[in-house]
Amino acid sequence: MPHSNKSYGWTGKILLIDLCTQKYEVIRPEENIYKSFLGGRGLCSYYMREIKNLMPSEIPLLFFPGALTGTKIPFAVKTIISSISPLTKTFFTSAVGGFFGWHLRKAGWDGIIITGKSQNQIGLTVKDENVSFFDCNDLKNKKASDIFHKLKPEGSAAITSIAADNGVAFSNIIIDKYFFAGRGGLGLVMANKGLKAIEVYGSCDIAVHDSENLSKGIEDSMRLVSASPSLMGELGFTEFGTSALYDLIFSRNIMPAKNFAGRSFPEAEHLNAWNFKNKYPWEKTGCPNCPILCKRISSEGLLPEYNSMAHFSSLIDNRDIDIVMEANRLCNETGMDTISAASAIACYRELKYKDHSIDIIQLLKEIAFASGEGKLLIKGSSEFSKKLSSPESSMNVKGLDLPAFDPRGAYGFSLAYATSTRGGCYLQAYPLSHEILRKPIATDRFSFEGKARITKLNEDMNAAMDSLGLCRFSVNAFGLEECAKLLNAVTGEDFTAGDLMNCGERIFYNERIINYTLGFDSKDDDLPERFFESENAINRDDFLKARANYYLIRGLSPEGKPLETKTRELKLKWLE
């Protein structure tokens, strides 16, 4: 049965939790907030500004499913988890799959805002409209699988694990065993609040305005998905998950080696997806309703995705497939982001051990428990390299370690890393689509021509997609026209693709405003010097010209600061 509210799609209710008092209240947003910010990432940015304006010292933790999450739409599965990152100090959002957002929406909530701090380790249960708390003191320093085994949630659960308990700045929030809000250290934010677990169960259906048009929209979108080689092809994500990228990125000479010192790793052919499949026979798993099922699980645990495969092999110069698998498993169990963990090891190796081998698995254990040499790395490669007076050895932007795509081999990545509000992240501008996968059209990956405008438009589109709760893979198949039809069928509104782009622009600009209030500007929208000085280096003047063009197109000052005229044009609050 549908929820008994007047809205379609949106439930009209947000849960505000105070962990200090263990009390809660219901926020009922005005309709224009939903129409302006949609859900997911958009509502995260909206409420982050609202809370920081009211309580400047508060660092809230936000869980917002997308506006379409919880419906029967394939790919509409994402929940955005957001806070101020302890690793980057930026406003940070992480899109995570699993059943969490699906259950939260079916429980009647468009999101959860968590404030305050509990003196003891506690858990939170949201079962439909009922909210309660439970003791979690016995779960400290337990591995993730043991915590899930003990909780046995009726619906879905989000937890932290060992790394968060020990102050690791790149610790994860783990959803339903196999899904990770992995980047930016949101697990540490949750742990610092004394919140160990959140259980969510929803038993109702989301009210849909036009079921017939929704079914037609799903059919049209799935037709496009089925025709996408990168998604449904015999070598695509449905067969190998994101590990399908390993051979492709290596062949394009974009896979970073030895802490981005180069891009040569001849052993790659022995560590690709095909070898993992032969060594660790797998089964598919994934998000609810998803036709791709991009995750792979074997008797040895969850198999690594592309970035984990590349960073635990090429980046740290490891040629042992079993070590890659064990490193990935260990990070998943202790709750560490694989990209930042591998990057910390790569930086550590460069500064302390040069070309000598190290015990990767032992070092990862020490990081997770903040012991031995690992204690030096719990704040990430950026802080570690600064302590050794070699900040240039950390390959990060705004403190966020770079993923496994070398920008010297695809210039769109350099602009994407620099302008992302998260830090060194390619997902917001997603140059992978046009520079590597050649969708919707191929661009010259060794040129900045047109990249400023493409970057801005892709950031806006993906901000909208994140706010709808759509998986990033879907952009390989369909766009905002299809999204608008789906949203209108669910909500009864009359959004166009242009309206969604406008929402995405508003959301991204709002994030830039938040980062500006946190002290970020053009000095932070930059790359490590290594990329401008090494072999096949990026021309710095060309990069700066592209960044200046981006600022102009984005409506920022030459210093990367938000402008009052643009802020008001987007119907955002100007800085008080």
Q: How is 400-451 classified by DSSP, letter by letter?
A: EEP-S--GGG-HHHHHHHHH-SSSS-STTT-TIIIIIS--SS---TT--TTH
Say which amino acid occupies 428.
Q
Contact of 392 with 530, CB cutoff 8 Å: yes
Find out whether 43 and 64 touch, Cβ atoms under 8 Å: yes
pLDDT of residue 508: 98
Domain assignment present for residue 389? The answer is no
| In-domain check, residue 32 | yes
Sign of CA dihedral 360, 365, 369, 371: negative
Going by DSSP bridges, is the β-strand pair 91-96/130-135 parallel, antiparallel, or unpaired?
A: unpaired
CB-CB contact of 259 with 393 (8 Å)? yes
Give the whole-angstrom CA distance, residue 363 versus residue 346.
Answer: 11
- Give SS3 for 576: coil
pLDDT at 3: 41
Chunked mean pLDDT (size 10), the chain, 576 residues: 59 97 96 97 97 92 97 93 98 96 96 97 97 96 96 95 98 97 96 98 94 95 88 86 94 96 92 95 88 90 96 96 97 98 97 82 98 97 97 97 97 98 96 92 95 98 97 85 96 97 98 97 97 93 98 98 98 90
Would you say 101 and 65 are in contact if contact means Cβ atoms under 8 Å apart?
yes
- With beta carbons less than 8 A apart as the criterion, state whether 523 and 544 touch: no
Quickly tell me which residue has 């079916």 as its tokens: 106
In a domain, 81, yes or no: yes
pLDDT score recorded for residue 478: 87
Instruction: Give the single-character DSSP code of 166.
Output: T
Domain residues for 119? 14-201
Q: What pLDDT score does 498 carry?
A: 98
291 neighbors 284 (Cβ within 8 angstroms): no
Q: What is the pLDDT of residue 278?
A: 94
Give which of 335, 528, 399, 518 is closest to 87, Cα–Cα.
399
In a domain, 148, yes or no: yes
Q: What CATH code is carried by the domain that includes residue 142?
A: 3.60.9.10
| Residue 65 located in a structural domain | yes
Helices (H), 469-573: 480-491, 497-517, 530-533, 540-554, 564-569
> Is 401 a domain residue?
no
List CB contacts of 323: < 8 A, sequence separation 6 or more. Answer: 312, 360, 361
Q: Within a domain: residue 92? A: yes
Q: Domain count of the chain?
A: 1
CA separation, residue 561 to residues 63, 105, 446, 509, 557 (Å): 28, 36, 28, 10, 5
CB-based contacts of 354, cutoff 8 Å, min separation 6: none
Counting Cα atoms < 13 Å in the Cβ hemisphere of 371 gives 8
Predicted pLDDT at 298: 93
First to last CA, the chain: 45
- Answer whether residue 338 is part of any domain: no
Residue length, the chain?
576
